Structure 1
Amino acid sequence: MKFRYVYQKVVDLKSNEKTQAEWMLSAAVGQLQSEQRTLDQLREARLETLSAIQREMENSSSMIKLQELQRYVDYLEECITRKISDVRQAEINVEKKKSYLTSKMLDEKIWLKAKEKSKNKFMHEMLLREQNELDEMATVRFAMKAR
């Protein structure tokens, strides 16, 4: 007789939910990395523009060119501020997904433990049945020899 767990579909469901939570966390981490890369690119562009302003000042360039570069730096500062907010939101999202994954992993673990206990009980009962059959066979043999 083979072990068949009554709630196997629930165990499978919990496993699938955990897998989905892992995928969701992976997507959230990817989004966070993307936001951080964009933030780094904005900061780099700001530094390059500040260097360009420095060079223009050394070359005694026109005031219009300097004002244009300064407006661009101001624009980049605004973009950086918004992107920092986006990064924070992405970090919060990653933490939520981690928490969700943890709860799904716990659910799966509980059901797997219940399945394991059920299987151990089944195996114990099977061993008892086998032992009873062997005992009965031994009793019958002894009784046959005694006659």
Structure 2
Amino acid sequence: MKYQFSFQKVLDVKEKEKELAEQEYESIRLQQLEVQEKIEGVKDSKERLLKQYDQVNRRKVSDFLHLQQEVDYINQQLKDLENHSHELHQKVEKKQQVLIEKTKEAKIWNQWKAKSLEAFQKRLIKEEQALMDEMAVLRYFRKV
């Protein structure tokens, strides 16, 4: 007699949901890391630009205005990226909560399957023992 979990399809669905939640979480985390790298790159370019700004000895006012425009542009990029990073951080937290919920659900179903298997095995052992007892009784009465 082979064991078959009666809710195996539900368990499979829960496992797939968990895997999908993991993939979504990893995807959004990857996006967050990419944005962080972009932020670091923009900060580095801002640092270089500010060093150029500091090293100016005798330049025209137009050069200063141009550098100021570049600094303003970089600051705007940085602000946009930080806003995007904040949004991604919120999405990561939501996806993490979904992943935790899906993991709990899958774990509950897996535990139920394990308990069901254990009950099946106990019932099988009990039936086997009853059969052995009956065979022993029949042998005893045939000898007598």
Q: Show the counterpart of 1:11.
A: 11
Instruction: Measure how far apart 1:90 and its partner are.
Output: 0.8
- Counterpart AA for 2:17: E
Separation of aligned partners in 1, 2:84 and 2:36: 9
* Structure 1 Cα separation of the partners of residues 41 and 91 of structure 2: 22
Give the fraction of aligned pairs with identical amino acids, expressed as a percent.
28
Q: State the shift of 1:117 in Å.
A: 1.1
Q: Which runs of 5+ in 1 are unaligned?
A: none
Code of the residue aligned with 1:135 in structure 2: it is D
The aligned counterpart of 1:61 is 59
Q: CA deviation at 1:124?
A: 0.8
Q: How many residues align?
A: 144
SS at match of 1:38: helix
For residues 29-59 of structure 1, give each alpha carbon's deviation from its aligned partner in whole angstroms, at most 9, with x where no partner exists.
Answer: 0000011111111111111111111112x2x
Tell me which amino acid in the other structure corresponds to 2:106: E
Matched residues in 2 for 1:70 and 1:48: separation? 13
CA separation in 2, counterparts of 1:50 and 1:75?
Answer: 13
Which amino acid in the other structure matches residue 21 of structure 2?
Answer: A
Counterparts of 2:47 and 2:68 in 1: how far apart (Å)?
A: 12
Residue of structure 1 in register with 2:102 after alignment = 104
Aligned counterparts of 1:64 and 1:35: Cα–Cα separation in 2:
33
Match for residue 23 of structure 2? 23
TM-score by length of 2: 0.97
Measure the CA separation in 2 of the matches of 1:136 and 1:93: 64
C-alpha RMSD over aligned residues: 0.7
Letter in 1 for 2:105: D
2:91 and 2:9 mapped to 1: Cα distance? Answer: 30
Structure 1 CA distance for aligned equivalents of residues 12 and 137 of structure 2:
45
Give the corresponding residue for 1:88: 86
Q: Which moved more, 1:23-32 or 1:60-69?
A: 60-69
Report deviation, 1:106.
0.5
> What is the letter of the counterpart of residue 4 of structure 1?
Q
Cα distance between partner residues in 1 of 2:125 and 2:32: 54
1:21 is aligned with what amino acid? Answer: A
Write the distance in 1 (CA, Å) between the matches of 2:3 and 2:42.
60
